[in-house]
Amino acid sequence: MAEGVTAEPASLLRGLPDEIVLWEILIRLPPKHLLRCRAVRRAWRAATSARDFLLAHHARQPSLPIFSGDDAWILGVHYHNILAFDHRAATEDDQLHAVARLDDAFRPVAACDGLLVLSKLSTLGSAGACLSICNPATREHALLGLHCDFEVMGMYLHRPTGEHRLLLQRRRSQAAYLLVQKEDQAGCYVFSLGSGQPPRYIGWPEMASLNFSVPVSARDSLHWYPVYCPTETNPSLYESKLIVFDTISESFRLMREPTILGSSYAFDMDGTLGIFTRNPSTKAIDIRVLHNYESEVWDLKYQIKLPVAEIRREFQDCGGYWDWELDVVSVDGGVLLLVQLPRWLLHVDSNDRMVNSFYRGRRSLSMTGFQLKQSLVRHTFFPALHGYAVNASPFIRPVE
């Protein structure tokens, strides 16, 4: 791997082989520390800027759940935080930390390879949203230039071409309202970032009116669960389905989901699919994992009993149990349950213990359902997008 790195004749660090310095030390640093190291020596900058190193560095980064939250005012300007939760951090302040500070309220609507697609309410009114893409680590930002009637279903790397693409949804009602042309029909579209081409229609218009949650990426596919579809026998009744989009063939299919009673949501479990459920009878969180992807076999792997009494004792204004937002994160071969209360975020381990790390919320703090795997890799599509900028609005200042 190291053969592709070009460095000056001088060694990177006296007394140690360059292989050790680069592939055992520098590659383990978080992105912001690696950027600081580039200022130490010219040789370090050259070695850590090579694409093969950056790809390997990105592969080592953890996928962290991200949150959206308002914060204080700086010099009269209100800013909005994109925060990441890292259970491995040494202090509580570092565990929930800002990865981006933006100059207005942006909502993440897709994430992939360290990139975030952001939605901002249109300044022209409520007719749509302004979509843009950014890399918080490199502080790059650009507008996507999509029509306001498109909704983002997910983002993915199309491996056959190496392109980053967006899967878009256009609802039938929106298309009718905007009086679009016949070829701009309701359904699903694919938009290749930086291609200069308009979104490409891929069909499946009968599903365009359904609501899709945050997708889980695994096995070169995007997975949504639950998606509520009309039943075949009675269209007025709805049943939950597990829908899969193959990012290689760019086609949809249904997948067998486990038989579940209770509110359920999909999550990433070490590169495969997991589903967590609020069990109404036991008040526990049942966690099922796709044991065999090909045969679609599910296993009940964890049952986490929420310490409801302890939470209510500690937080008097925590609201009702069914109002708590939940998310499951795969960590260190196990799982961690995130619980968001009004103004607080806490986590519970797989042994039903509430970890003694609590975070007083800002004026607002909300789960996004997305995960960010930070990357310093430079993408060629960015300069081809309208309004491309680095270290400029909507970024306010580097995160400390």
Give the three-state DSSP class for 215: coil
Q: Which portions of the chain are predicted below pLDDT 50?
A: 1, 7-8, 124-128, 174-183
Give pLDDT, residue 172: 61
Domain boundaries, the chain: 2-55, 61-390
Give the three-state DSSP class for 212: coil
* CA 130 – CA 109 distance, rounded (Å): 11
**Are residues 275 and 291 in contact, defined by beta-carbon separation less than 8 angstroms?**
no
What DSSP designation does 381 have?
A: T
Q: Which class in CATH covers the domain with range 61-390?
A: mainly beta
Give the position of tokens 């308009």.
198
Express each pLDDT in 301-332 by its tens digit: 999 998 888 888 888 777 777 788 899 999 87
Give pLDDT, residue 104: 83
Distances (CA, A) of 163 to 1, 188, 226, 391: 23, 18, 28, 24
pTM reported for the whole predicted model: 0.88
How open is the CA angle 369-383-399, to the nearest 5 degrees?
50
- Give which of 328, 316, 313 is closest to 367, Cα–Cα: 328
Which string of b and e fits 162-198 if b means at least 16 CB within 10 Å?
ebbbbbbbbbeebbeeeeeeeebebbbbbbbbbeeee
**Amino acid occupying residue 202:** I
Give pLDDT, residue 247: 97
Give pLDDT, residue 121: 64
How open is the CA angle 100-101-106, to the nearest 5 degrees?
90
Express each pLDDT in 178-222 by its tens digit: 444 444 578 899 999 999 999 999 987 566 567 888 999 999 999
* CA 99 – CA 136 distance, rounded (Å): 6
Give pLDDT, residue 173: 53
Q: Write out the two tokens for 398.
A: 């580097």
309 sits in which H/E element: helix 308-314
- Give which of 131, 22, 102 is closest to 395, Cα–Cα: 102
* CA 189 – CA 149 distance, rounded (Å): 12
CA atoms within 13 A on the CB side of 88: 10
Q: Quick one: how far is CA 170 from the chain centroid?
A: 22
Q: Write out the two tokens for 101.
A: 């500070």
Give the three-state DSSP class for 48: helix
**Are residues 250 and 202 in contact, defined by beta-carbon separation less than 8 angstroms?**
yes
Residues pairing with 227 in the sheet = 241
Give pLDDT, residue 400: 63
First to last CA, the chain: 32
Which string of b and e fits 272-290 if b means at least 16 CB within 10 Å?
bbbbbbbbeeeebbbbbbb
Neighbours of 31 (CB within 10 A): 19
Give pLDDT, residue 127: 43
**Are residues 151 and 135 in contact, defined by beta-carbon separation less than 8 angstroms?**
no
